[in-house]
Amino acid sequence: MTSRRARRGAAIATLCLGSLLATGCGAFSEPSRPNAAATAGSSASASAVPRAPVVMFLGDSYTVGERGSLVENAYPSAAARLLGWQVIVGGRAGTGFVQGSSARTPFGVMFESQLGWRPAPDLLIISGGHNDARIPNVQVGPPARDLLTRARQRWPGTRIVLIGPLWGNDSPPAAALTVRDQLRTVAQQMKVPFIDPIAERWITGNRAEGTGNAAVFIKKDGVHPTPEGHRYIAARLVQDLRRLHLANPSRATA
């Protein structure tokens, strides 16, 4: 009886071993290898998904919003929604290239504390000069040049755009035009694209007089944009960036 059971067990073991060798299945089978063509196709599909450009802004209350307003309602965020960017907004109300105090640090200081330590963006947009126009005989050229130089050294592959002073009407004072001209000269010398909202007449007329687009796009303070004004400024900026081929900065070439 024992011999018969032993012969039967040996036959079953032989049959199982034969099945394993023939089919490669069971506990002794090798793990299946991924299909090379399928893997390549999956990788290609993943790499084909476009990456949203990372764009940083640095500016004053036009850029971050005045006290009591939200940065997500300011024009940088509106431009990001139009163009599908990932946006990081730095700056503070009342600041500029020179203008600053213990509570209102100038752009150079805020660049280091708010933006410069981050991974490189595809595009950096610096917008300002409005508050600098309040300083008699101000010289914004040297600090603007220093800021642009540091940004280039920190992020060699990042494109940079400089925007001149934004103004709440179409009759800015001579001091604002002087600041604008100094910034434009620095931009030309450093081969940085310069956008001039004053010359391009982004804002027309005067809110107090109820004339031009200022009647709709500027608040009663005569300075800051309304929510509609921020969206309008964003649209004007987008037009200029498309003209400069920088609307999609992750694909732009130097």
- At 38-51, the pLDDT tens digits run 555 555 555 566 78
Mean pLDDT to the nearest integer, 148-174: 97
Contact 16, 84 (CB under 8 A): no
Q: How confident is the model at residue 32 (pLDDT cuts 50, 70, 90)?
A: low
pLDDT confidence of residue 31: 47
DSSP strand pairing (54-59 vs 123-127): parallel
In one-letter notation, the amino acid at residue 76 is P
pLDDT confidence of residue 33: 55
pLDDT confidence of residue 19: 46
Mean pLDDT to the nearest integer, 3-25: 46
pLDDT confidence of residue 48: 62
pTM for the whole structure: 0.80
Mean pLDDT to the nearest integer, 50-64: 95
pLDDT of 26 above 80: no
pLDDT confidence of residue 101: 55
pLDDT confidence of residue 252: 64
pLDDT of 174 above 50: yes
Residue 138, both tokens: 């101000």
Cα torsion 222, 182, 79, 160 to 10°: value is -160
H-only helix segments in the chain = 2-23, 36-47, 61-64, 75-83, 107-110, 141-154, 174-189, 214-217, 227-243
pLDDT of 246 above 70: yes
Q: How confident is the model at residue 12 (pLDDT cuts 50, 70, 90)?
A: very low
Mean pLDDT to the nearest integer, 176-201: 98
**What are the distances in angstroms from CA 49 to CA 43, 44, 52?**
10, 9, 9
**What are the distances in angstroms from CA 223 to CA 25, 96, 183?**
77, 15, 21
pLDDT of 28 above 50: no
The DSSP 8-state label assigned to residue 161 in this structure reads E
What is the tens place of the pLDDT at every residue in 65-118?
988 888 999 999 999 999 999 999 999 999 999 986 556 799 999 999 999 999
In 3-state terms, what secondary structure has residue 125?
strand
Whole-angstrom distance, CA of residue 203 vs CA of residue 169: 6
pLDDT of 3 above 70: no
